[in-house]
Copies of this chain bind each other. A is one copy, B any other.
Amino acid sequence: MYEPNTLLDKATELFWQKGYQATSMRDIQQALDLRPGSLYSRFQGKSELFEKVIVHYAEQILARLEQTAQSEDGFEATGDMFRQELIKPAELRYQRQCLLLNALAQSSKLEDRAAQALEHAMAKMLQGFIGLAAALQEKSLISGEVAPAQVGQWLQIQFVGLRNAAYFANDDEQVMYFIDKLIIDLQSEWPAS
C-alpha cells in the first residue's frame, strides 16, 4: 500500500505530462503497479483523483507566490520565482507548462466537480499574484496608483505567456531575457484605468 502522497505525486506527474484525457486510469495503475480496485478504494474515480491533483498542485504554486511576496528584495525574488518555475532541464520539460492551463484546454470533458476545482484553483492562483503585486507596492517598488488587482493579473498574463515560450525555448538565456524585460516593465508606465 502506497503512501497517499506517493500516489498523488505520481498521478500529478502523469496528468502534467499527458493531460487529463490522455492519462488513463490504467496508466496510473501501471505506473504504480496497482490493480483497479486498489485505486478505486482510495478515490471515487478519475474525476475525484484529478480534483485532488489540482488542489495539490495549486497549493504548491500558491505557496511559492506567498513566499515570494514575503521576501525582502522584491524584484530579485520575483525574477527568481519566474526563473525557478520556467527553467527546467529537458527531462522535466513538461513542468514548464502549467497543469491548470492544460486542464483548462480540455475542460469540456471534465466533470462538474473537477471543473469547479479547476476554476477555484485558477482564482486562487490569481489571488497569489495579486498578493505579490500588493507586496511590491508595499515596498514602494512599483507605482501605488494602479490597483494591485491590475498588476497581479498582469503578472499572471506574463506567467502564462512565458510558460508557453519556455516550453519551446531552446536555451535558458532566451527565457531569462524575457524575465528581465518583465521586471523592467513592472516599473514602466501603467495606463490610467
Q: Which residues of A contact B (CB under 8 A)?
A: 17-19, 21-22, 97, 101-102, 104-106, 108-109, 122, 150, 153-154, 156-162, 164-165, 168, 173-174, 177-178, 180-181, 184-185, 188-191, 193
Q: Which applies to chain A's interface (DSSP): helix, strand, loop or mixed?
A: helix
Tell whether, in the assembled complex, residue A178 and residue B165 are in contact, meaning their CB atoms are under 8 Å apart.
no
Contact of A22 (CB < 8 Å), options: B17, B108, B158: B108
**Given known contacts A108-B19, A158-B161, is B191 in contact with A188 (CB within 8 Å)?**
no
Tell whether, in the assembled complex, residue A178 and residue B190 are in contact, meaning their CB atoms are under 8 Å apart.
no
The 10 closest A-B pairs by CB, nearest first: A161-B161, A157-B161, A105-B105, A188-B188, A180-B191, A102-B105, A185-B185, A160-B161, A18-B108, A22-B109
Tell whether, in the assembled complex, residue B177 and residue A193 are in contact, meaning their CB atoms are under 8 Å apart.
yes
Tell whether, in the assembled complex, residue B150 and residue A177 are in contact, meaning their CB atoms are under 8 Å apart.
yes
In the assembled complex, the Cα of A19 lies from the Cα of B191 at a distance in Å of 35
CB-defined contacts of A189 to chain B, threshold 8 Å: 184, 188
Contact of A21 (CB < 8 Å), options: B109, B173, B190: B109
In the assembled complex, the Cα of A180 lies from the Cα of B191 at a distance in Å of 7
Tell whether, in the assembled complex, residue A21 and residue B106 are in contact, meaning their CB atoms are under 8 Å apart.
yes
